[in-house]
Chains A and B, each alone.
Chain A
């Protein structure tokens, strides 16, 4: 049964002062979250006591101002960040749509980029083979698929990236903003694909600044502020 349970999850990380020969005042990078002191060390409290429970069918919208912890929470759920406190229990295969262009290589053909993207996503050779034609068809790139990615227009590149990234069968889908791509007709097709994806996924967690989108897609809304849960409705 697909589910997500977070109990008092926190993420605190040290602002590493990288050993460097530059002047002390120029060493620190600006990061989101609450910056606090722990002894002589500076730490960022990116998430603080976050708890919620989601079960199959739930669509959670994450809202909040910049630096509230939305993307951080998504990355904690995906496993990129390890929480420093609390417990996370996830049942189900998690897929994420954070950066659809990740791993695309300008010199490789569209077809080769699909293979690489598939490998990075953990697909087997058979799965890549099986999904190849579906991705090519969806992207509508035709013969361009065998040309180098760098020869594509921005819209064509976005179509391929979108088609490859959304050929998923997720049980839990994490999204940092709703993605769309291409010209008006493709935008409509992309919107349908996203709706289908949302329909197929057991649970969706979507971080967005678009209230209308959250209202349309999500069944629950979690508001974050300064890494803490402000409300859950």
Chain B
């Protein structure tokens, strides 16, 4: 166990020393995806506005005039898009990086950070859109935004662990790419991204309280929309991060050398 953890930390520290590699590759990835388009990466902002607009003004028309609901959806979508993209892309990570893994001695964590960086850059565009929506909705920048940053920080800290866990899952269980993709699509409806929980019973109660993604969302959202310190959400998210990182480190330590034989 100790040897496995040492191996994992060794891989991570080598990858962090190679930060210029994964930062450069992530930028190229983003650039390549939009290189031939007129709007370029701004398409990510357009996508974000389209989704928030749809939910705020079309899908739930009765709340359309409520600025706090628009802010609720805007932040919910920001976090949910980030989570869903990170998780679904992680499942096929090692398969996509097969030529690098089989041809270089780069630490496995380099690929994890490459994807993490990609997801953060993409989320940066959505974040710009979210801030704009919040300002237009009458939520001026105040100290509550700093509390919201705490939630975002936890989300970012959890990202490499999410990537590791789902990348190993995808390597050992290729069918999971489709299973996870479908679950995340359905998961949006079981997570308070656009619906508001106000003490309902039944499925919504379970979906709200027993869904770890709820706390990632609320940790970012509550300070701005409710003006409260999201202590409970941050605590749950923090414990979840610790658990996820423990699994990620074990997977990395025990199985990183076997990935090359699996892909």
Contacts and interface: CB of A to CB of B under 8 A. Distances in A.
Contacts of B20: 119, 125
A19 interface: yes
B103 A16 contact: no
A102 B100 contact: yes
A36 to B, nearest CB: 15
A67 interface: no
B260 A81 contact: yes
B28 A102 contact: no
B10 interface: no
A4 to B, nearest CB: 16
A184 interface: no
Contacts of B104: 80, 102, 120
Nearest to A22: B175
B260 A116 contact: no
Contacts of B173: 18-20
B32 A120 contact: no
Interface in B14-39: 18, 20-21, 24-25, 28, 31-32, 35
B166 to A, nearest CB: 14
A98 B172 contact: no
B105 interface: yes
A105 B32 contact: yes
B13 interface: no
Contacts of B24: 115-116, 119
B54 interface: no
Interface in B132-178: 172-175
Interface string B70-104: 00000000000000000000000000000111111
A107 B32 CA distance: 6
B257 A82 contact: yes
B172 A16 contact: yes
A21 B177 CA distance: 12
Contacts of A89: none
A103 B101 CA distance: 11
A102 B174 contact: no
A229 interface: no
B186 interface: no
B105 A16 contact: no
A80 B105 contact: yes
Interface of B: 18, 20-21, 24-25, 28, 31-32, 35, 99-106, 172-175, 257-258, 260-262
Given A21-B175, A125-B20, 5 more contacts: A18-B172, A20-B175, A98-B103, A99-B99, A108-B28
Interface of A: 13-14, 16, 18-21, 75, 78-82, 98-99, 102-103, 105, 107-108, 112, 115-116, 119-120, 122, 125
